[in-house]
Structure 1
Amino acid sequence: MTNPPPVARRTRFRLLLSAFIALVLAIPLPVVYSTNIAHAQEVRPRRSIIDFIFGTRRRKPQVMRPVAEPPRKKRPHKSVVRAGSSIVKVEPPTIQKRPDAKKVLVVGDFMASALADGLTAAVEEDPGLAIEKGADGSSGLVRTDHLDWPTTLEAKIGELKPALVVIMIGANDRQQMSVAGKKEKFRSEAWNTEYEKRIEAFIGVTTKNKIPLIWTGLPAFQSPSLSADAATLNNLYRSKVEMAGGTFIDIWDGFADENGKFIASGSDVNGQPVRLRGSDGLSLTKAGKRKMAFYLEKDIRRLTGNDEIANLIRLDSSNLPLEGITPQSTITKIERIAPISFLDPELDGSKALLDSNLVPKTSGISPRDLLIEKGETGPAPEGRVDDFQWKKAEKPAG
């Protein structure tokens, strides 16, 4: 038997080798994955015989992405105290109102109800003020068949004896009114005339009982037409309240943008951005109620005479630090003056300094005048910490 020629043997070897290579390439290579998914690791495939013959094929390294654990929900912290084997829930301490606390009666519609909630939160830590909510959400000055506010307010004043009355009303009054048995359209001439009379009658109840009054204006609303009508009603309220000697509080800017248009979100009493209004464009959130009350706090304390810093030492002629100073005395070298009060103790709105009549008349130039007029600083008084002047040693006598 003759051997095949060398060319035929090489051809047969190449065919067998090609078939073997094709068979090996058809078999999938096993891949080893790391079981630790907390850190991304590179996947390294096994090397086959083909890799040894023809070299390792370069592949892009596959990286396992870490699996992020879902965030855990934090449970609200509860203050608890263990008493033996049982757990007792501790409630935050509440400040009790004094028996002689001044009562502030808040009346009106659903906006007045929100205002009362905000004022309650505002004076929560003040034992000298108590908020009485007397609002009716569906009421107004148009539908007297639902609620006659002058008569109702008279009864509430006789029952509660408030020190101050706060009114907020008008959001339900954009409707026709019955005048002398005839239906009048909203904002018609007859409607305006009758509505002004009802405002005066409402205010007259507080005037007759000699009780201070705060009338709170309406804020902007999501509806442009409702906002326009609210602005018109605010003008009526302001003119009538100020004519009767009451206080009108305008809160419009706190719930509108720089153009006076409605905003749903804005800054709260701490300057933080929050949601102020509800999704209906009418109601107020908790932050919105608190912000509305913020506009009234100062006037409420002024009108009720409830001084927030009651323990502050008041300065008068008997306890001034500088003694022996009379209005007629003259000082040529000014170094100190009598202190002034940080507050207005009498709550009378006076802008005069406390005991300004005791401040002596001066003929010299104060350090302030010297700095402003000449741009110079006066020498430090002898012995003060900033007195850096060298003193000449006195020569001994003789």
Structure 2
Amino acid sequence: MRSADIENQNPRQLSRPKSRTGDRAGALRKHHLLRLVALAVLLTLTGLTVVQVQPAAAQERVERKSFLQLLFGGGQSSKKREEAPAAARTSRVNKAPSRRSIAPPPEPVVEKLENARKILVVGDFLANGTADGLTEAFAQAPGVVVVERTNGSSGLVRDDYYNWPEQARSIFKEVQPSIVVVQLGSNDRQQLVVAGSREPVRSPSWIAEYERRIRLLIDALGGAKTPLLWVGLPAFKSPSMTTDIVALNGVIRKQVEMAGGEFIDIWDGFVDEDGKFIYTGSDINGQQVRLRGSDGIIVTKAGRRKIAFYAEKSIRRLLGDAANEGVTVLDTANFPEIFMPPAPGENQAAIQRTLPVAMTDPALDGGSALLAEMPATAGLVRSPRDQLVLDGVLPAPPEGRVDNFAWPPDSP
């Protein structure tokens, strides 16, 4: 084609490809490129990874890399991480601060004496926790043993399930305790059968029958011959249950005191200043801890120890020295050394320590008599005290004082 003909052609004709095969190939390349870009975006958004295929000989450990790592590189293989210097890893471990709390060493187990005093704990699930708390309280007392005989689902109402007056008699005969601790009544908020008819909770017939069963239980546990500590019931989350528990505590307190026992009131330890149920309160050390479970019924370990603390004071008072930990009895073998000063005629140089000044020491103040033996000095003018004691005359009040009633006032 001649140059003149080329100049006369349309510019669009010059830029157009010469064949349709080239147009189709370019469109396919653009289409594949768009598909690759869309796939990359999709993999990035969904977080999928591409598994790099390796030969069979090298597939001991398959490495999983993301699409971005395959595209741009990066990432350290596990094999390289394993080949990291052990010294560097050790230094990093040593430099990391340790947040693990160090538990205190366990207390040594104290062997109980053969003639140790026994504390019998009976009752329901609350009594079981009280027994645990008392066991912890007297763990270091060799002269005290806590014996637990409880039934978690028992009470005084359902004697067909567990008859406490009958069971307590055989238990008391077996254990032969020095003190009996009872905590019962949490499961007794139900009807009671009296003379073949069911009586509602806290009705007059219900209360009369419940009091009779309390007296039977006290008699089965030794009556007035054995010290009885009846631990009261705490508040509960349910308001209706708490109302019934208040009434039960009053009924139990009356019968226990009439039988010569001691009622341990723990109510204030599990309510706030307004008398409402609390989950968290003070433990035996005054620290704020969780006392009750999420259901408002179960008592935590700190709560059980707190209940036992109320009974512990009375138990220590009743047992005396047997309840003290590490009691040392003085005898001729372990008397402390007592310094005896030498007699006046002995060598004073043998004295190894300074002696206290004696009351009869003549060199105390240069005199040889006590103050009471000294004659009183005679005064020419009696003091206001002497005038009041000897003569019965009050001294004249000074001018301007409120008790000076002279009129007209003395002129200066």
Quick check: TM above 0.5?
A: yes
Q: Please tell me whether residue 217 in structure 1 is matched to residue 232 in structure 2.
A: yes
Q: Please tell me whether residue 267 in structure 1 is matched to residue 282 in structure 2.
A: yes
Whole-Å Cα distance in 2 between the matches of residues 159 and 294 of structure 1? 26
Instruction: Report if the CA contact (8 A) 2:157-2:210 is conserved.
Output: yes
Q: Deviations over 1:51-105 (max 9, x none)?
A: xxxxxxxxxxxxxxxxxxxx977446479xxxxxxxxxx9652111111111111
Whole-Å Cα distance in 1 between the matches of residues 214 and 176 of structure 2? 22
Instruction: Report if the CA contact (8 A) 1:123-1:129 is conserved.
Output: yes
**Aligned counterpart, 2:315:** 300
**Aligned counterpart, 2:164:** 149
Instruction: Report if the CA contact (8 A) 2:172-2:222 is conserved.
Output: no
Once the two structures are TM-superposed, the CA of residue 120 in structure 1 deviates from its matched residue by 0.8
**Aligned counterpart, 1:233:** 248
Once the two structures are TM-superposed, the CA of residue 193 in structure 1 deviates from its matched residue by 1.0
Q: In structure 2, which of residues 328, 331, 339 is the aligned counterpart of residue 311 of structure 1?
A: 328
Q: Deviations over 1:300-348 (max 9, x none)?
A: 122234352743779xxxxxx9xxxxxxxxxxxxxxxxxxxxxxxxxxx
**Given the two structures, how large is their TM-score scaled by the length of structure 1?**
0.57
Whole-Å Cα distance in 2 between the matches of residues 112 and 216 of structure 1? 8
Instruction: Report if the CA contact (8 A) 1:206-1:212 is conserved.
Output: no
**Aligned counterpart, 1:184:** 199
Once the two structures are TM-superposed, the CA of residue 210 in structure 1 deviates from its matched residue by 2.0
Partner amino acid, structure 2, of 1:169: L
For residues 167 and 307 of structure 1, do their structure 2 counterparts lie closer, same or farther at Cα, with a shift above 3 Å needed?
closer
Whole-Å Cα distance in 2 between the matches of residues 92 and 120 of structure 1? 14
Whole-Å Cα distance in 2 between the matches of residues 160 and 209 of structure 1? 17
Whole-Å Cα distance in 2 between the matches of residues 393 and 116 of structure 1? 69
Partner amino acid, structure 2, of 1:234: N
Once the two structures are TM-superposed, the CA of residue 227 in structure 1 deviates from its matched residue by 1.1
Whole-Å Cα distance in 1 between the matches of residues 169 and 270 of structure 2? 32
Q: In structure 1, which of residues 241, 248, 251 is the aligned counterpart of residue 263 of structure 2?
A: 248
Instruction: Report if the CA contact (8 A) 1:104-1:163 is conserved.
Output: yes
SS of alignment partner, residue 134 of structure 1: strand
| Structure 1 stretches lacking a partner, 5+ long | 1-70, 80-89, 315-320, 322-381, 385-389
Q: Please tell me whether residue 276 in structure 1 is matched to residue 291 in structure 2.
A: yes
Whole-Å Cα distance in 2 between the matches of residues 92 and 302 of structure 1? 25
Whole-Å Cα distance in 2 between the matches of residues 250 and 101 of structure 1? 27
Whole-Å Cα distance in 1 between the matches of residues 103 and 180 of structure 2? 39
**Aligned counterpart, 1:387:** none
Instruction: Report if the CA contact (8 A) 1:97-1:130 is conserved.
Output: yes
Partner amino acid, structure 2, of 1:105: L
For residues 208 and 231 of structure 1, do their structure 2 counterparts lie closer, same or farther at Cα, with a shift above 3 Å needed?
closer
Partner amino acid, structure 1, of 2:185: G
Q: Deviations over 1:192-211 (max 9, x none)?
A: 11111111111122344821
**Aligned counterpart, 1:203:** 218
For 1:96-135, list aligned pairs within 5 A.
96-135=111-150
Partner amino acid, structure 2, of 1:109: D
For residues 172 and 72 of structure 1, do their structure 2 counterparts lie closer, same or farther at Cα, with a shift above 3 Å needed?
farther
- Look at both structures and tell me which one has the larger radius of gyration over its CA atoms: 2
**Aligned counterpart, 1:286:** 301
Whole-Å Cα distance in 2 between the matches of residues 176 and 393 of structure 1? 89
Q: In structure 1, which of residues 161, 167, 173 is the aligned counterpart of residue 188 of structure 2?
A: 173
Instruction: Report if the CA contact (8 A) 2:223-2:259 is conserved.
Output: no
Q: In structure 2, which of residues 148, 155, 177 is the aligned counterpart of residue 162 of structure 1?
A: 177
For residues 298 and 75 of structure 1, do their structure 2 counterparts lie closer, same or farther at Cα, with a shift above 3 Å needed?
same
Paired positions, count:
246
For residues 192 and 78 of structure 1, do their structure 2 counterparts lie closer, same or farther at Cα, with a shift above 3 Å needed?
closer
Instruction: Report if the CA contact (8 A) 1:118-1:289 is conserved.
Output: yes
Whole-Å Cα distance in 1 between the matches of residues 151 and 274 of structure 2? 32
Partner amino acid, structure 1, of 2:206: W
**Given the two structures, how large is their TM-score scaled by the length of structure 2?**
0.55
Normalized per residue, the structure richer in helix is 2
SS of alignment partner, residue 182 of structure 2: strand
SS of alignment partner, residue 159 of structure 1: helix
Once the two structures are TM-superposed, the CA of residue 286 in structure 1 deviates from its matched residue by 0.8
Whole-Å Cα distance in 2 between the matches of residues 214 and 393 of structure 1? 64
Q: Deviations over 1:339-361 (max 9, x none)?
A: xxxxxxxxxxxxxxxxxxxxxxx
For residues 230 and 93 of structure 1, do their structure 2 counterparts lie closer, same or farther at Cα, with a shift above 3 Å needed?
same
SS of alignment partner, residue 260 of structure 1: coil
Whole-Å Cα distance in 1 between the matches of residues 97 and 292 of structure 2? 31
Whole-Å Cα distance in 2 between the matches of residues 312 and 262 of structure 1? 46
Whole-Å Cα distance in 2 between the matches of residues 313 and 224 of structure 1? 55
Once the two structures are TM-superposed, the CA of residue 140 in structure 1 deviates from its matched residue by 0.2
Over aligned residue pairs, what C-alpha RMSD do you find?
Answer: 3.0
Whole-Å Cα distance in 2 between the matches of residues 231 and 73 of structure 1? 50
Deviating more after overlay: 296-305 vs 249-258: 296-305
Whole-Å Cα distance in 1 between the matches of residues 191 and 290 of structure 2? 33
Q: Deviations over 1:263-301 (max 9, x none)?
A: 110111111111011111011111111111110112112
**Aligned counterpart, 2:51:** none
